[in-house]
Amino acid sequence: MDKQLEKLISLHDLDVMIADLNRKEIRDKEADMGLKTEGALEELTELREAYCKSISRKWRGLYSQLTRHYGNAVVPALMGRCTGCLTRLPTAVCSDPERNSRVHTCPTCGRIIYWAD
Amino acid sequence: MKYTALCKFDLGSDGRDEAVSELLQLFPFGEKTRHLLAGALEVREQVGATVVHRGIALPHCRSILVDQLSIAVGRSADGIGWPEEKVHTVILFISPVKPNGPEEHAAFLSHIAGRIKEHGDEFASAGSAERLFELLDFQPAKQED
CATH number at B46 reads 3.40.930.10
Q: Select the residue of A39, A40, A116 nearest B65 (Cβ to Cβ).
A: A116
Q: Can you give the pLDDT at residue B104? A: 87
The verdict on residue B142 lying in a domain is no
Q: Does domain A3-114 have CATH number 1.10.10.10?
A: no
Q: Where are the alpha helices (DSSP H) in chain B?
A: 16-24, 31-46, 103-123, 129-136
Per-residue pLDDT tens for B4-47? 889 998 999 999 999 999 999 999 999 999 999 999 999 999 88
The verdict on residue B126 lying in a domain is yes
Q: Which domain holds residue B108?
A: 3-136
Whole-angstrom Cα distance, residue A86 to residue A69?
17
Render A50-85 in DSSP notation, one character per residue.
HHHHTS-HHHHHHHHHHHHHHS--EEEEETTEETTT
Give the start-to-end residue ranges of the domains of chain A.
3-114
For chain B, the domain total comes to 1
The verdict on residue B100 lying in a domain is yes
Nearest Cα neighbor of B34 from B74, B78, B70 is B70
| Percentage of chain B modeled with pLDDT above 70 | 97
Whole-angstrom Cα distance, residue A48 to residue A53?
9
Q: How far is A117 from chain B (nearest CA, A)?
A: 5
Q: Select the residue of B31, B40, B47 nearest A13 (Cβ to Cβ).
A: B40
Residue B142 has pLDDT above 70, yes or no: no
The verdict on residue B145 lying in a domain is no
**What are φ and ψ of residue B4, in 5° steps?**
-115, 125
Per-residue pLDDT tens for B95-116? 999 877 788 888 898 898 889 9
Q: Select the residue of B30, B97, B112 nearest A16 (Cβ to Cβ).
A: B97
The verdict on residue B42 lying in a domain is yes
With CB atoms and an 8 Å threshold, state whether A76 touches B63.
no
| pLDDT band for position B145 (cuts 50, 70, 90) | very low
* First-residue to last-residue Cα distance in chain B: 24
Alpha-carbon distances, residue A56 vs A8, A69, A76 (angstroms): 10, 20, 21
| pLDDT band for position A1 (cuts 50, 70, 90) | confident
Locate the chain A residue with the closest alpha carbon to B50: A35
- pTM (2 d.p.): 0.90
What is this model's ipTM?
0.89
